[in-house]
């Protein structure tokens, strides 16, 4: 009985490993492309953000997010043909970054997946969505809150940062986060 159980679980293991391998051998090219674009976006933005904070502090660094985040997204959209952006259930730039219905659903699931213990760093979701303008491939990748984010998105934000944020974003909802939470997501789509 014990032996049978052992053999059973071994072959299940082998099956899982085989499946995982097969999945890795045939990655969806759209997912791979979207991930590359996100890597580029994140690397550029976080590099500029870290440099700005170290150089001039968080108040000055707000401008990096204000100017550079939308500019980098626009450049990448123009270069790749994908629509590229960032979104959140609690957006700071409410006008530009608020989620649509599909994004809201995915973001809520990301929060549930985080509560269930999944690593936010690798959390993503892809779907072919039929819209008014035909079929689109849509992809979202969760953005975790890390230490560096707390200066502007955390629970205790310095008064001068609060003042600058209030001035630039009167409807700001993107405060009160802790390390490890889902801050938002990169959101990409392209027509199929
Ligand atoms: C110096 C202040 C500052 C820091 C530090 C900062 N952000 Fe932001 N963040 C902003 C501002 C300002 C915006 C609004 C940008 C815009 O207008 O599109 C923003 C917007 C965002 C958005 C887009 C959705 C929204 O709320 O409008 C995400 C996602 C985000 N930040 C994640 C992060 C993460 C993750 C970190 C840490 C790696 C981080 N931010 C660090 C200031 C900051």
Output the domain CATH number for residue 40: 3.30.450
Q: Does 82 or 28 have the greater pLDDT score?
A: 82
User: Does 86 map to a domain?
Assistant: yes
Residue 44 is assigned to a structural domain of this protein: yes
- What is the rounded CA–CA span in Å between residue 103 and residue 182? 14
Cβ-in-10-Å burial (0-12, 13-18, 19+) of 162 comes to middle
What is the number of domains present in the chain?
Answer: 1
Please tell me the distance between residue 191's alpha carbon and the centre of ligand 1 in angstroms: 27
Residue 20 inside a domain? The answer is no
Domain for residue 99, yes or no?
Answer: yes
Task: Compute the average pLDDT of residues 4-27.
Answer: 44
Question: Is 88 a pocket residue for ligand 1 (Cβ < 6 Å)?
Answer: yes
Q: Are 179 and 19 in contact (CB under 8 A)?
A: no
User: Which is the closest atom of ligand 1 to the Cα of 184?
Assistant: 29
Q: Closest by alpha carbon to 175, among 191, 192, 158, 187?
A: 158
Q: Is residue 1 part of a domain?
A: no
Band of residue 26 on the pLDDT scale cut at 50, 70, 90 = low
Ligand 1 within 6 A of 164 CB? no
Distance from residue 80's CA to the centre of ligand 1 (Å): 23
Answer whether 174 contacts ligand 1 (Cβ < 6 A).
yes
**Average pLDDT over the chain, rounded to whole?**
87
> Looking at the domain assignment, is residue 22 inside a domain?
no
Cα 147 to chain centroid distance, Å, stands at 16
Ligand 1 in contact with 65 (CB < 6 A)?
A: yes
Ligand 1 atom 43: the closest Cα is on which residue? 152
Region 83-106 average pLDDT: 97
pLDDT of residue 84 exceeding 90: yes
30-42 average pLDDT score: 96
Mutational pocket test of ligand 1: of 169, 174, 180, the residue with most ligand atoms within 8 Å of the beta carbon: 174
**pTM value?**
0.87
Task: List the domain range (segments joined by +) for residue 180.
Answer: 29-191
Give the closest residue (by CA) to ligand 1 atom 11: 65
Which helix (H) or strand (E) segment holds residue 136: the answer is strand 134-144
Place of tokens 């990448």: 76
What is the tens place of the pLDDT at every residue in 45-78? 989 988 998 888 888 889 888 889 999 999 999 9
Name the token pair of 188: 């990409």
Among 12-26, 100-114, 130-144, top mean pLDDT goes to 100-114
Spatial distance between the Cα atoms of 129 and 189, rounded to a whole number of angstroms: 10
In this structure, is residue 4 part of a structural domain?
Answer: no
Question: Is 109 part of any domain?
Answer: yes
3 state DSSP class of 126: strand
């Amino acid at each position: 009985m014990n032996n049978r159980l052992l053999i059973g679980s071994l072959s299940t293991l082998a099956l899982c490993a085989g499946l995982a391998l097969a999945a890795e051998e045939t990655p969806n090219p759209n997912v791979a492309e979207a991930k590359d674009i996100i890597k580029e976006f994140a690397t550029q933005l976080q590099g500029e953000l870290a440099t700005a904070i170290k150089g001039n502090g968080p108040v000055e660094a707000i401008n990096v997010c204000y100017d550079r985040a939308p500019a980098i997204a626009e450049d990448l959209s123009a270069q790749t043909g994908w629509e590229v952006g960032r979104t959140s259930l609690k957006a700071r730039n409410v006008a530009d970054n608020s989620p649509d219905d599909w994004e809201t659903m995915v973001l809520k699931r990301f929060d549930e997946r985080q509560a269930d213990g999944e690593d936010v760093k690798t959390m993503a979701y892809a779907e072919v969505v039929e819209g008014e303008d035909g079929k689109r491939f849509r992809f979202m990748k969760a953005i975790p809150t890390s230490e560096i984010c707390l200066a502007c998105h955390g629970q205790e934000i310095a008064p001068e940062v609060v003042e600058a944020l209030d001035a630039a974003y009167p409807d700001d909802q993107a405060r009160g986060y802790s390390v490890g939470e889902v801050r938002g997501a990169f959101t990409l789509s392209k027509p199929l």
